[in-house]
Chain A
Amino acid sequence: MKDTDIKRLLYTNLLCVFSIFLSIFIPSFFVDNFSVLEAHLTWLCICSASVTTVNLLSYLVVKPNVSSKRSSLSHKVTRALKCCVCFLMSCFLLHIIFVLYGAPLIELVLETFLFAVVLSTFTTVPCLCLLGPNLKAWLRVFSRNGVTSIWENSLQITTISSFTGAWLGAFPIPLDWERPWQVWPISCTLGATFGYVAGLVISPLWIYWNRKQLTYKNN
């Protein structure tokens, strides 16, 4: 492991953080009185699109995995289609899980689904970019001693922090502070966003701090 790899990871993650900030401030120039809380659904779509775009571009440029042996166009198209199908299945699966955890079944369906889309953007899109639509690789990364590179370690940390942030975002909903963000699913989406940003910032620092103890099989 070299410090240059950690720096590249840090720059990539900071670029993702920057994309989230852009999704907050850039629409203010085009739409009057744009607010994350008042136009929350619109902001969810913009945030999801920007994070997906930055993830795709950064992984295409950095290319942390070099496991693709075949470079034919049909293989790439098939792989891209598989990734899209995995993303959609992930959105639907998260929607079902949210309903099982107490989200309303009939009301606020669009809001719940958009929350699932955003959380899938924070968790499934990096998995697809780094590991591809290979379920076995996913299961390997999220088990004990399963990571093989700092990119997979960062992926693990950001995914867990995104889920933790979304989970913690549910707790202010019952309180009677009467803030505008204390409704479903705004507090959960904000929690997921904060968790994702925290994971992006913490994972390079944590890897750098523990770089002596971290040893991977391929390294």
Chain B
Amino acid sequence: MGVLYLAKRLGWMLFILFGSTVVIFLVIHVIPGDPARAMLGPQGTPEAVETLRRELGLNDPLWQQYLIWVGRALTGNLGHSILLSKSVLELLGERVTTTLLLSLYALILAVLIALPISVMSATRRNTIGDHVGRLVVLIGLAMPSFWFGLMLMLLFSVRLGWLPVFGYVSPLDDLGQHFSHMVLPAVALGSGYAAMIMETTRNSLVDVLNQDYIRTARAGGLAERLVLWKYAMRNALIPTVTVIGIQIGYLMSGAIVIENLFAIPGIGRLMVNAVLSRDYPVVQGTMLTVVFVFAFANLCVDLLCAAIDPRTARE
């Protein structure tokens, strides 16, 4: 993998980040609603709203507001929350680990569930196991995580009383409590994700197992285990890794729903609250963070794919 390839991917990532700042900024400013009115409430007189808008710099031309924001963001300053009297970075700092941990657990869980089942499914095609596996995938894909989370909560917390209903405990405070609070949210978030990984891996593995070089390897008398894990998996995993990367976005958006449901103070909840109250700097900051995570994950995927199959870096 050459330095040029890495530089190219990095360049793309920066371009995407820059483009997303324009989109993020326009979208939040174009939708109706006004942070000044949100703050003052219906009691706020038009004069008071106007004064506050001026104070917040909301009356400047949009392009000017955009340049100020981007200029500051480049120096690492994402501005101040209009409503929470804290800097956006501070707010993100308090929450971003929570969301990342939740997403990470969901990811690990999804991969741990998806890979073995998909291998089983692909190697024992059209058996009962394969059918059951694919049915599980269909159910997983069709089930909204919000609803699934609620069902998990009703079963494991309300009915059985095994796990807490809501909340978050930092792993630094109490590791056991941390995991017991994260199990249900991670399962709810990871289930749909697992289904996607499962479907992709199974299909690409089936495809690869039908190829000539696999037949050749088998004809050469190689052990089936070796054929599967050394020869087939390496090629079959590329779509899987790509899907895992692209769907990090799915995880982040899913986290918004799951955080609201389980009352976990992460950036998803911060974002929802900010959108509803039109707290522009916070919306921009959180969205930028999500885009960054997404772009970064894709960069990692590109590099990982290049490591798995060096041909991809040479195109």
**A and B from one assembly?**
no
| Chain B residues proximal to chain A, CB less than 8 Å | none
| Chain A residues proximal to chain B, CB less than 8 Å | none
